[in-house]
Structure formats: C-alpha cells, structure tokens
Amino acid sequence: MTSYKRMVLASRPQGEVVPANFRLEEIPVPALKDGEVLIRNHFLSLDPYMRMRMEDVKSYAAPQAIGETMIGGTVGEIVESKNPKFATGDKVIGMLGWAEMGVSDGALLRKLDTRNLPLSAYLGAVGMPGVTAWYGLTQIIQPKEGETVVVSAASGAVGSVVGQLARQRGLRAVGIAGGAEKCAYVVNELGFDVCIDYKAGNLVADLAKATPNGIDGVFENVGGEIFDACLARMNPFGRIALCGMIAGYEGNPTPINNVSAFLKMRLTMRGFIVSEHMDLWPQALTELGTLVATGKLKFRESVAQGLEAAPDAFIGMLKGRNFGKQLVKLV
C-alpha cells in the first residue's frame, strides 16, 4: 500500500452531527523515521466523547482541529517498524484516529495479547469503556452488597459492563435502554435484574416498580429526563457517577429539575474522565480481562464495514441506533 484513507473533521456541527461534517481523504503512506512504526488499523472505536471534542468549547481536552484526522482509539497490527520495541506482526492499541493506517513513535502504543481475547475487546469491555465502567462503579458509586444501582444506556459498551460488575458484587442491577430488544438482551444475556425501556413511555412508573428499595447508585450516561427520574428515587447518601450526558451532546438542553434531591438525600455526584486515572487502569484491566476470558463478562458489538461507513455509524450511535459497542472494521 502506498496510500491510505482517513476521515477528517470538515466542519463543526451546528446542532446535530451530519455526514457533511466529515471528509474522506486519501493520503500517501509516509516513509518511517528512526523510532517510528507503521500500523495497519483493524478496528476503530466510535465513542460518545468524540461528539464533545467536535465542539470548539472549553472542556477537559482541546477541541478536534478542523481538517485533521478525527481522533479515536484503534487496534491494529505493526506492518513496518523502525522501533526496536515493536516487531512486524505485533498487535497494538493506540489513538491513531479515523484512519486505515497510522505512524507512531511508540510512546502511546501498547502491545496486546490476543491469545485469550479478541482484538476488538480491547476497544470495549477490556479497554477504555470497560475501565470507565469499572472506575465509576468502584471508585465513585462504591457499591455495597444489597444496594440498588441504576445504569442508563445499559446495553452500551460502558453500561453493559457496569451492570455485570454490579451483579457480581451482590447488587441489584437495573438497566435503562431504548427498545424491547435491547432490554431483553440486558436481562437475558447480561443478567441485569431488570431493564426499563424508556421508549415505552412509562419511565417514572417503571422505574418505581424496578427499584422497590430506592436507588443507592446511579451510573449516568444519558442525562435529561432519565437522570431526573433517577434522582427522584435516590436513597440517603446515594452516589452518582456522571460519565456522560449523551442526551445533551447535540445541543439539546438537559437541565436537572430534581436538584433538591441532592440536599434532601445528601447525594454525592462526581463527573469523571477515565483517562485521568491511569494509575487504576492495570487493576481494572486485570479484572476485566479475566472476566471476559472466562466468559463471566459478556459484550456485544455493532460493526460497521469500512472507514466510509464511520460517519453514519457515529451519527447512529449518538441517536442510540447501535446495539452494544460501536466499532468500524477497517480490514
């Protein structure tokens, strides 16, 4: 290969993301300098955080630059190496973005062991989404046996792990997801105690029925009315891990109305970014890798084919059309 495709940010979204915000380019494969490696990406991870980076606003990270390759996590294989730490054929995870290939000096690459785990799992349950679930649950919600935890976007890459880890710790795990099919999967395959279909239109009543002893922990991925409904059911000293508010990413306002619950129930809420807690990744990945390898932690993937399909897959994920971890297969 002498050239490869990449997807750049063509323009910032005005409200909802549209395909025209992206542009596909074909660029030459560069010659490697000493210390560099060339990677052929096998999978690109699509994650909600990318939506925030497309905005030019003050946040935890610099915005994605216009005209540059869209940021993103990737797994792939070394196809050429001028770095003694990496050999051709090594499987690696990195942040090479929405691109079929990439060059790295190795600093942010990590070699992967694919003997017991599929390569794509390192972008999901045994990667950033899994560690996000692990961190929010164990470090912020700090669950105690017998408590009830509620997880929104329960069939997604993060939510699915939250509920399974909670069940393994002796908690009642209540999921919230969109549609009967996702809810059936959350209960029957992932083993949540119950899953509420927020699209059924009875969110408040269904949540009350699903949480007879109230709610002790919320792992929030969505925000908006789903979050407000949870706040109204919180027990004293409840904990809220604020991981995402995908309901608001497209510019929709997502106010919290039940603010007084924080006072009346002495709640704690903490927003977090998992990349700021690298010290805990080894511990989390050890638990997650072991659980996946032994079949005790299940996950599901939505796989789009080819870089050309990435914008539509990303837009669909923001609308909840994906089912499980959203990936793009690049080879």
Shortest spacing between CB 150 and a second copy, in angstroms: 17
Of the chain, the end-to-end C-alpha distance in Å amounts to 13
* 222 vs 313: CA distance, rounded Å: 18
Judged by beta carbon, residue 204 or residue 331, the one nearer a second copy is 204
Judged by beta carbon, residue 170 or residue 255, the one nearer a second copy is 255
Residue 254 is a binding residue for a second copy (CB under 8 A):
yes
Tell me, by CB under 8 A, how many residues bind a second copy: 32
Residue 200 is a binding residue for a second copy (CB under 8 A):
no
Residue 271 is a binding residue for a second copy (CB under 8 A):
yes
For the beta carbon of residue 152, count every other beta carbon within 10 angstroms.
Answer: 31
Residue 52 is a binding residue for a second copy (CB under 8 A):
yes
* 227 vs 257: CA distance, rounded Å: 10
- Write out the two tokens for 74: 């990737």
- Write out the two tokens for 187: 């209960």
Shortest spacing between CB 7 and a second copy, in angstroms: 25
Residue 264 is a binding residue for a second copy (CB under 8 A):
yes
In the set 97, 127, 223, 311, which binds a second copy (CB under 8 A)?
A: 223
> Which neighbouring-strand residues pair with 45?
327
φ and ψ at residue 242, rounded to 5 degrees: -95, 105
φ and ψ at residue 139, rounded to 5 degrees: -95, -30
Residue 273 is a binding residue for a second copy (CB under 8 A):
yes
Please name which of 133, 96, 103 lies closest in space to residue 38, comparing C-alpha atoms. Answer: 103
Residue 256 is a binding residue for a second copy (CB under 8 A):
yes
Q: Which stretch binds a second copy (CB under 8 A): 32-40, 57-65, 179-187, 293-301?
A: 57-65
Angle at the Cα of 324 (from 71 to 117), degrees rounded to 5? 80
Binding region for a second copy (CB under 8 A) = 52, 57-60, 223, 236, 242-245, 248, 253-257, 259-260, 262-273, 276
